[in-house]
Homo-oligomer: A and B are copies of this chain.
Amino acid sequence: MTLERRNLETRVWLQILSLESRIFSALNGALSDELGLSVAKFEVLAQLDRYPDGLSLGHLSQILKVSGGNVSGLVRRLLADDLITKEMSSQDRRSFIAKLSEKGKLLFEKARVVHDLKLAECFDAVPTGDLTADLASLKTLSGRTRGPDHA
């Protein structure tokens, strides 16, 4: 591997990291200022919103890009806030199914508006044509990028 190639890889990675971090902070700031919600909690609510019949905690961990330990902590805090409910699975009595509560649904609807408005603000200066091209290159890059060995 040449030094140029290594520098290029490092610069691409730092650029991805900084882009992700800029948008993440903007979304996190808006959600927590306006609704006291973190992006991490928002992502759990968003997934549960897509599955009205609920999701097992294992499945939820798989979908979300966080470790099992983090999901348990998030679920515990969302339960404490009455934003989700947890019940025993009828198929597998050893596993629990999480669902949005009524309070969780209402909060998620508000949060989705805040999230989408802030994201629109982040990308406000990017023309739609360019953003479409960016999506295509990101998909290609993602498809070629090797993740952790166990994934």
Residues of A at the B interface (CB closer than 8 Å) are: 1, 5-6, 8-13, 15-26, 28-29, 65, 116, 119-126, 128, 130-135, 137-142, 144-151
Task: Note all chain B residues with C-beta closer than 8 A to A22.
Answer: 142, 145-148, 151
Contact (Cβ within 8 A) B29 A120: no
Q: Tell me, in angstroms, the Cα distance from A49 to B13 when the chains sit together.
A: 19
Q: Tell me, in angstroms, the Cα distance from A135 to B151 when the chains sit together.
A: 25
Task: Note all chain B residues with C-beta closer than 8 A to A24.
Answer: 17
Given A15-B142, A133-B137, A144-B126, are A119 and B26 neighbors across the interface (CB < 8 Å)? no
| A13: contacting residue among B21, B23, B121, B124, CB under 8 A | B23
Q: Tell me, in angstroms, the Cα distance from A11 to B51 when the chains sit together.
A: 19
Contact (Cβ within 8 A) B119 A9: yes
Number of this chain's copies in the complex = 2
| A146: contacting residue among B5, B124, B140, CB under 8 A | B124
Q: Tell me, in angstroms, the Cα distance from A139 to B120 when the chains sit together.
A: 19
| A6: contacting residue among B116, B122, B142, CB under 8 A | B116
Cβ contacts A to B, 22 pairs, < 8 Å: A1-B120, A8-B131, A8-B135, A9-B131, A10-B116, A10-B119, A13-B23, A13-B119, A15-B139, A16-B20, A17-B24, A19-B141, A19-B142, A22-B142, A23-B145, A25-B65, A26-B147, A29-B148, A124-B146, A125-B144, A133-B137, A137-B137
